[in-house]
Copies of this chain bind each other. A is one copy, B any other.
Amino acid sequence: MSDYQSMDKNALESELKNLKAEYEDYKAQGLKLNMARGVPSTAQLELSLPMLDILKSGSDCLSVSGADCRNYGILDGIDEAKELFAQMLGVKPENVFIGGNSSLNMMFDTIACFSENGIGGEDPWLLQGKIKFLCPAPGYDRHFGVTGFFKNIEMITIPMTENGPDMDMVEKYVEDPTVKGIWCVPKYSNPDGITYSDETVKRFAALKPAAKDFRIMWDNAYCIHDLTDTPDTLLNLYDECLKNGNEDLPIMFCSTSKITFPGSGVAALAASKNNLDVLKSRYKFQTIGYDKLNMLRHIRFFNNYEGVVAHMQKHKAILAPKFELVINKLTEELGDKNIASWHKPNGGYFVSVNVLNGCAKKVVALCKEAGINLTGAGATYPYGIDPNDSNIRIAPSFPPLDELAKALDIFCLCTKIAAAEKLLDK
């Protein structure tokens, strides 16, 4: 049995009958498996266990500058945290602002700041009427959630290519002065696992947007989250922007959520002095300072950037077999069926599968009925609407390998059922 699209009707009817019988067997098992979100597994959490109680005494709580991190103060974070994140983000420490436990929160606050305060000397976005934001898709649903919260922002879908967002379209759109920004996950993109090519990064750095308040939201969530020994490399956007006199273009983000503890990590952003000045002009009223003890826990646990990189090898050892299993299952079950395509990522947290057009919602619904929880179909597009109803995001990090294998078997089965029914026009 191979290419569904070349099978005659009778053969496909017969195939569908067999698939459905198999599906009923799975349903009878009453499974409950979750591949919905990029959540680290318990085994991954255990890797950072020594960090929990690494601070024990009052003297443990002193920063290099001598500040007692238990007390108030230091709006932009302790120096040693700035140094560490500067290396992760590829900038200088003076360009870094350390936040709380969530880079998403920092992205939200950045959009809120530009909405309330304005950026680049322009009026607050909220007072500019309808504005537009570019959203490479498939993309990260929570990014679209942030811009969707601000009702004056219209989200424009930019197709993803194997080199990153379609830059011809991006360059065309930024000629429109109501276009104010773009969301990017430049390395191991969510969900495709694509790393932007050098050319893509250079074209971003060379953008000349009509809007002086256009900003690139550069969410480098998976900057060191490799899955293979031949990881992708991402060109340094900030350096490229400097070459073009465009250092005010990017606001860059990362966090330790998928390095230490997802709920209790440390997040950071990096930006030019001009941008930092505006962001700080809001932060200084918003808070007295973020959790410096948690910054210190990370510093004591890792010692330095090399410590972080070494730690990521341990995550890789846990995650790589899960991704291999996903790719193997997809290849075995769907590789010759001509009903689905996917990209094998070298890092990140997802495998993005494109099923036959018009089938994604059905596949997700079938999976749900059989006890497999997936990210909702459409979630990877602005407004939750995938125009082709084709993209499904698989998040293999949380389940143990045996559960993951079963979940993938069912996913492939549901993909085949939906495809067969579609081809039979049922």
Interface residues of A (CB under 8 A from B): 37, 39-40, 42, 45-46, 48-49, 52-58, 60-61, 68-73, 100-102, 104-105, 108-109, 112, 115-117, 124, 126-127, 142, 145-146, 148-150, 257, 261-264, 282, 284-294
**B55 adjacent to A287 (CB under 8 Å):** no
In the complex, what's the smallest C-beta–C-beta distance from A53 to chain B, in angstroms? 3
Complex Cα spacing A139 to B293, Å: 30
List 10 additional A-B contacts (Cβ < 8 Å) besides A45-B70, A73-B263, A104-B286: A52-B53, A52-B57, A53-B53, A100-B291, A102-B289, A102-B290, A105-B287, A116-B150, A148-B285, A263-B288
Complex Cα spacing A104 to B285, Å: 8
Complex Cα spacing A130 to B70, Å: 40
Complex Cα spacing A71 to B258, Å: 9
Residues of B within 8 A of A69 (CB): 263-264
In the complex, what's the smallest C-beta–C-beta distance from A396 to chain B, in angstroms? 16
Residues of B within 8 A of A56 (CB): 52-53
In the complex, what's the smallest C-beta–C-beta distance from A414 to chain B, in angstroms? 26
Complex Cα spacing A72 to B397, Å: 13
Residues of B within 8 A of A262 (CB): 70-72, 288
**B261 adjacent to A293 (CB under 8 Å):** yes
**A45 adjacent to B72 (CB under 8 Å):** no
**B100 adjacent to A101 (CB under 8 Å):** yes
Which 8 pairs from chain A and chain B are nearest by CB? A53-B53, A70-B261, A264-B293, A108-B286, A72-B262, A105-B287, A149-B285, A145-B285
